Amino acid sequence: MEFRFDQITFEIFREGEEIPVIYTPEILTDFRQTKLTRVEAMLDETCARAFDALEIPPGADARLGIVGPTIQNALKEDNEQIVSQCVLWLAVRHPEIWGLEIEQGELTYLATSEDSPMRVN
């Protein structure tokens, strides 16, 4: 695959295997305009089933606790559409997160903020 400077890569590391998800700014813009609302509704619905509203600290994005496991399950099922939608959602809502590491069932978001990495069990 030829690398272009307008490509953006989200890195997924699963048990040491690198799985890059590559997209362009145009794809990200299209996602924002046409699919973001649908993906957020899916994540919100899953959050509502998984968490009690009182468990979520004010200002926290509970969807971060859902999107990593959703990516992990989609990888197991070879569902590239869900993987790409979740990665693009992360790129829009949490641009500081540039990757995800999955090691022995444990998820770690790879991010550029000083609080990273964020671990999700």
Residue 100 lies in a domain: yes
Mean pLDDT of 112-121: 53
- The partner residues of 10 in beta bridges, in order of sequence, read 21
Calculate mean pLDDT across residues 54-72.
82
Average confidence score pLDDT of the chain: 85
- Residue 59 pLDDT class (50, 70, 90 cuts): low
Identify which of 88, 90, 91, 95 has the alpha carbon closest to the alpha carbon of residue 66.
90
Q: How many domains, the chain?
A: 1
pLDDT at res. 1: 45
**What are the CA-CA distances from residue 45 to residues 26, 42, 66, 87 (Å)?**
28, 5, 10, 18
Q: Tokens in use for 15?
A: 């048990």
With respect to residue 3, please indicate whether it lies within any of the assigned structural domains. Answer: no
Q: Is residue 1 part of a domain?
A: no
Kindly indicate the confidence band of residue 65, based on its pLDDT and cuts at 50, 70 and 90: confident
Q: Which residue has the tokens 């993987």?
A: 83
Domain that holds residue 77: 8-120
